[in-house]
Amino acid sequence: MPKPLWAPWRLEYIQQADEQDGCIFCAADELVVARGERAFVLLNKYPYASGHLMVAPVRHVGDFGELSDDEALEVHRLASTAIGTLAQAYRPQGYNVGWNLGRIAGAGIVDHVHLHVVPRWAGDTNFMPVLADVKVIPEALADTTRRLRELWPT
Ligand SMILES: [Zn+2]
């Protein structure tokens, strides 16, 4: 098992998550990599690793069991394409793919379900310095979003 990643900027996120108005998935725009009919892919603003993507249904739904068959299928198909695109862009050595359901399970946003796709490298922390200033990250996010959009199959 790889060691859990230390991502200090996530502390800020966890502190702010309860204070945010509205839903980051419903408002998502600049970090969206690709949109499907019923689901879309966006970069996590507070990543565990560089290239950390999330796939969410378009519909604002907080109950995993409420996803329709079409939504569930599209979320997984987009996750599959996301893995292929990350492979091309960054050559990760592995991935963590999964759902955090409920605050106790690590979900920052509990009322709009989303699937995490986290690329992993041996010694991941070499890829994005863990001590990078939080202010530096938005630029890195913009670069990553651009790169993945360019590589995303149409
Ligand atoms: Zn939402």
| Catalytic residue (choose from 52, 60, 76, 114) | 114
pLDDT at res. 109: 84
Highest mean pLDDT (candidates 4-8, 75-79, 124-128): 75-79
Residues with CB under 5 A from ligand 1 (ion): 23, 25-26, 60, 112
Q: What is the 3-state secondary structure (H, E, C) of 89-127?
A: HHCCCEEEEEECCCHHHCCCCCCCCCEEEEEECCCHHHC
The answer to which of 35-39, 88-92, 100-104, 110-114 has the lowest mean pLDDT is 100-104
Q: How far is the CA of 129 from the centre of ligand 1 (A)?
A: 31
Sign of CA dihedral 150, 129, 16, 79: positive
Is the pTM of the predicted complex or chain greater than 0.75? Answer: yes
Catalytic, 112? Answer: no
State in Å: Cα 46 to ligand 1 middle.
Answer: 17
Higher-pLDDT residue of 79, 139:
79
pLDDT above 50 for 13: yes
The answer on pLDDT for 34 being more than 80 is: yes
Residue 48 neighbours by CB distance under 10 Å:
19
pLDDT beyond 60 at 4: no
Please say whether the beta carbons of 75 and 39 come within 8 A: yes
pLDDT of residue 126: 45
**Mean pLDDT score, 52-75:** 96
Q: Which two tokens stand for residue 63?
A: 């109950």
